[in-house]
Structure 1
């Protein structure tokens, strides 16, 4: 089932990455979480980014059709633009003059692929994603040759002992929000709004999920020593074991696709999993993936402003208890741009303080006492599985956090609910 990309088809990637000979050295990976599902994967000298969405579209612009009230992000009231100022500020601090080698897109919803084409144009990095992500890139001016469409099962030799396997996955949600959840692709590039140049961000408009999700399995072989990690930015326990079918083409089930990728890589477990979905997803994936370490992904909401930093602490008692039972170490983030250094010795958190200072972030987010007290009252600060923020019924934390935000905004008493990062 796994398809090896030919040398010709790999030209896009190889031309950007090069393929230097494998060095006999201890492999090391730096995994930097940049908010939502935005990641930098620095493998040796190779710098790979995933999604890189910093624009933050307003929640009020989305609405559900009357017949499907659970699909809250199906349509939008107006086209939206791209926050190029935010993108350039992050670019200047995080990259400077350094090269971005590759840009991955997990799926085609706005909170993943909205800014990706702008990064491709700014940096010259080639994109890899689904059909819809590549069509969205074309709509934003990226040449067709600048985005490689993948369906799952592909294997890329990125040089320097790095192999990347594409794993077709599903999207969070279920039958209650079918427009957002079920696999759907675009058939042509979206058309920019004539007046504003913006796009319609709804999942039933220009930004469907793109036929489900594209997850990635990385292996790094250096002189006989190997590291491996798996990253997905959406998943649903509702149908992880069901085949993904788009336009009559069967792309297999996420769990079987993951098994196939591991088998092709000769792996029975991975060193780390950057994962979504909490305990319900972990219970299905852990028996197959058997990760040694777990780093949460896509848990901080969709609409919180980026520049104040982390809006609330990570907490998931059920997931933590399950991982502890499985002897899997959990590494929750404490601030945007937290770095995790993966070696054969394990995972070492790194505050990444110099970069955070450039961006105006504290090394570790400081929260008000009111927020800390609220967190202590709940077993999870999830406000919805990855892209599921706001779906009914809302989580206990979604309700608590919304009430506290409303009190802060309407009371005029900053001490009642300070903005994240401001200590009482």
Structure 2
């Protein structure tokens, strides 16, 4: 059952039909209804989370995969694990999905190891940090199947949907600071979708990220090529997201899917008020082992997400009136349209992994191994 905290009404919107009056002949006239320009626009977005920062978004007849780390271990892709997840995502009959674009936020073992195999099995283009393109070509795939991002790129899915690449930064430990120069190059993605209702919906997803001054400091990189020193300023994460929203015609974020594994409040204190976030969906979940139960889609989430594990975040979001929506198991799904975000049944896909239709399981859940260590004193 969906309670009020797990539903966000973003407001219904519609487009009034128009009638074109055209003169036909000397004394009479006739009316004709022009084709509906939104007739082929998607009615809704189907969002599916399947571990750590893995997302699949079905937007009309276009499907987008983010990260897709279904193993969280090893040094090379696991063909069988990717094959199973690929079939589960794309061969279900009740809610068909496709993979037409692959996104990667940053290179780390809990995000990126399986990317080359996803690219091989789908034949689709990967968009992510330039370093992932080396992994793609080393895996025997053509170089043109990978686009190394710099930030500011726009990926057009069709005339109704687009994705803006936003240069972001990776999360940092307590007392640390990063302007994105050190650590992995990190990107977030702003989605903007024109729905058939006439209302545009949007969401921003990032698979990591720091907060405070880390969000406002420009990323400045100095390299040396052929003995010549070159300095490039990419801009701060906040400036980059602001520019992407401006380009997309977005004034506020309907949904923010934030992905830091910890210190989420450090980022939320800046992002939420600045961009008028309406709904928060935490999603860097279950990357750590609990009671020796490591990451496994077949096991189910080995520890539950709890607002009380991050009390400062809970208090902050409550104060500003932003609800949270989170998964209870792998392959939980939601629909997102002009009326908001609502839980969607995904029993057929879950059955592939032996997961219950709703709720956790089949494995036993344990306490979050990092509970009490997810926020800093000064956050």
Q: TM-score over 0.5 for the alignment? A: yes
Q: Find the residue that maps to 1:333 and give its secondary structure.
A: coil
Q: Which moved more, 1:168-177 or 1:222-231?
A: 168-177
Change (3 A) 1:24 1:108: same
- 1:265 counterpart (237, 248, 251): 248
SS state at 1:329 partner: coil
Residues 1:339 and 2:355 are matched in the alignment:
no
Would you say 1:45 and 2:40 are equivalent positions?
A: no
Report the Cα distance in structure 1 between the residues aligned to 2:39 and 2:374, rounded to whole angstroms.
43
1:167–1:258 CA contact under 8 A, matched in 2: yes
* Equivalenced residues, count: 314
- The answer as to whether partners of 1:243 and 1:254 remain within 8 angstroms in 2 is yes
Match of 1:86 among 81, 84, 88: 81
Q: Given that residues 26 and 225 in structure 1 are in contact (C-alpha distance below 8 angstroms), is that contact kept between their aligned partners in structure 2? A: no
State whether structure 2 residue 246 is matched by structure 1 residue 246.
no
- Structure 2 matches for 1:198-209, cutoff 5 A? 209=184
Mapping of 1:11-410 within 5 angstroms?
A: 23=39, 27-57=43-73, 80-96=75-91, 99-174=98-173, 182-183=180-181, 209=184, 211=185, 213-222=186-195, 224-237=198-211, 239-247=214-222, 248-277=231-260, 278-302=264-288, 304-306=294-296, 307-317=298-308, 318=311, 319-363=313-357, 364-366=359-361, 371=366, 374=367, 381=371
TM-score (norm: length of structure 2): 0.75
Secondary structure of 2:80's partner? helix
Residues 313, 381 of structure 1: 8 Å contact kept: no
Work out whether residues 120 and 141 of structure 2, in 8 Å CA contact, stay in contact via their aligned partners in 1: yes
Q: Distance in 2 between matches of 1:161 and 1:253?
A: 29
Give, in whole Å, the separation in 1 of the partners of 2:372 and 2:68: 21
For residues 61-106 of structure 1, give each alpha carbon's deviation from its aligned partner in whole angstroms, at most 9, with x where no partner exists.
xxxxxxxxxxxxxxxxxxx332212111112222239642010011
* Unaligned 5+ runs, structure 1: 1-20, 59-79, 185-207, 386-392, 394-424
Residues 288 and 141 of structure 1: CA distance in aligned 2, closer, same or farther (over 3 Å): farther
- Poorly superposed stretches of 4+, deviation over 6 Å: 175-178, 367-370
Structure 2 Cα separation of the partners of residues 54 and 42 of structure 1? 19
Q: Which has the higher helix share?
A: 1
- CA offset at residue 323 of structure 1? 1.7
**Alignment correspondent of 1:400:** none
Spell out, residue by residue over 1:46-74, the C-alpha distance to the aligned partner (whole angstroms, 9 max, x if none).
Answer: 1110011112216xxxxxxxxxxxxxxxx
- The structural deviation recorded for 1:122 is 0.7
Residue ranges of structure 2 left out of the alignment (5+ in a row):
1-36, 223-230
Q: Cα distance 1:142–1:24, how it changes in 2: closer, same or farther (>3 A)?
A: closer
In 1, Cα distance between equivalents of 2:71 and 2:303: 19
What is the aligned-residue RMSD (CA, Å)? Answer: 2.8
Answer yes or no: is the 8 Å Cα contact 2:179–2:215 preserved in 1.
no
Say which one has the larger Rg. Answer: 2
